[in-house]
Chains A and B, each alone.
Chain A
Amino acid sequence: FTLVVNTMAFLHLFIVNKSGGLIHHRALNPKAPKIGINEWLRIGSTFHSLHAIAAEASPLRMEGNKNPYGADDGIQEIQAAGLILRCFQTRTGVKFVITAEPGTKDCAYVLREIYVLYADCALKDPFYELEMPIRCELFTQGVDALIERVEKSSKQR
Chain B
Amino acid sequence: GSLITELLRDFDTVEEIHVELEKMGHNIGLKSVDEILAKSEQQGIIIPPCTSLKDTAQVIAKTGFKMMLGINVDTVLSTDGNSFSLLLNENPLALFVELPPEYKNLQYSILYCGVIRGALEQVNLKVRCTFVKDQLQGDETNEIHVQLEQVLQDGAGDDYKEE
Chain A minimum-CB-distance residue to B36: A119
CB pair B35 A123 closer than 8 Å: yes
Q: Verify B49–A66 contact, CB threshold 8 A.
A: yes
Complex: how many Å from CA A120 to CA B154? 26
Q: Does A53 contact B (CB under 8 A)?
A: yes
**Which of B39, B41, B122, B160 lies in contact with A92, CB distance below 8 A?**
B122
Query: How big is the B interface, by class?
Result: 20 to 34
| Nearest CB on B from A51, distance (A) | 9
**Do B156 and A53 touch (CB < 8 A)?**
yes
| Residue in contact with A119 in the complex, picked from B34, B48, B157, B162, CB distance below 8 Å | B34
A115 at interface by CB-CB < 8 Å: yes
Asked if A56 lies at the interface with its beta carbon under 8 angstroms from chain B, I say: yes
Is B155 among interface residues, defined by CB-CB distance under 8 A?
A: yes
Alpha-carbon gap, A151 to B13, bound state (A): 57
Instruction: Determine whether A152 belongs to the interface, using a CB cutoff of 8 Å to chain B.
Output: no
Closest Cβ of chain B to A37, distance in Å, is: 25
- Is B31 positioned at the interface, with any CB of A under 8 Å from its CB? yes
- The answer to whether B144 has its CB under 8 Å from any CB of chain A is no
Expressed in whole angstroms, the Cα–Cα distance for A114 and B33 within the complex equals 15
> Which stretch from A67-75, A76-84, A134-142 is at the chain B interface?
A67-75
Q: Is the CB of B38 within 8 A of A116?
A: yes
Q: Kindly identify, within residues 27 to 79 of chain B, every residue whose CB is under 8 Å from any CB belonging to chain A.
A: 30-31, 33-35, 37-39, 41-42, 48-50
Contacts of B41 in A (CB 8 A): 112, 115
A residues less than 8 Å from B50 (CB atoms):
70
- Whether A91 and B155, one on each chain, are in contact in the complex, defined by CB atoms closer than 8 angstroms, is no
Q: Is the CB–CB distance between B39 and A130 below 8 Å? A: no
Is the CB–CB distance between B49 and A130 below 8 Å?
no
**Closest CB of chain B to A57's CB: distance in Å?**
9
What is the minimal beta-carbon distance from A89 to any residue of chain B, in angstroms?
A: 10
B residues within 8 A CB of A29? none
Say if the beta carbon of B123 comes within 8 Å of chain A.
yes
Chain A residues contacting B161 (CB-CB under 8 Å) are 56
Contacting residues, chain A, for B122 (C-beta < 8 A): 92-93
Tell me whether A154 is interfacial, beta carbon within 8 Å: no
- Contact in complex: B34, A123 (CB < 8 Å): yes
Central interface residue in B30, B156, B157, by most chain A CB within 10 Å? B156
Contacting pair A92 B35 (CB below 8 A)? no
User: Which residues of B pack against A, CB within 8 Å?
Assistant: 30-31, 33-35, 37-39, 41-42, 48-50, 122-123, 154-157, 160-162
- Kindly list the 5 A-B residue pairs having the minimum CB-CB distance in the complex, ordered from nearest: A70-B49, A52-B156, A119-B35, A123-B31, A115-B38
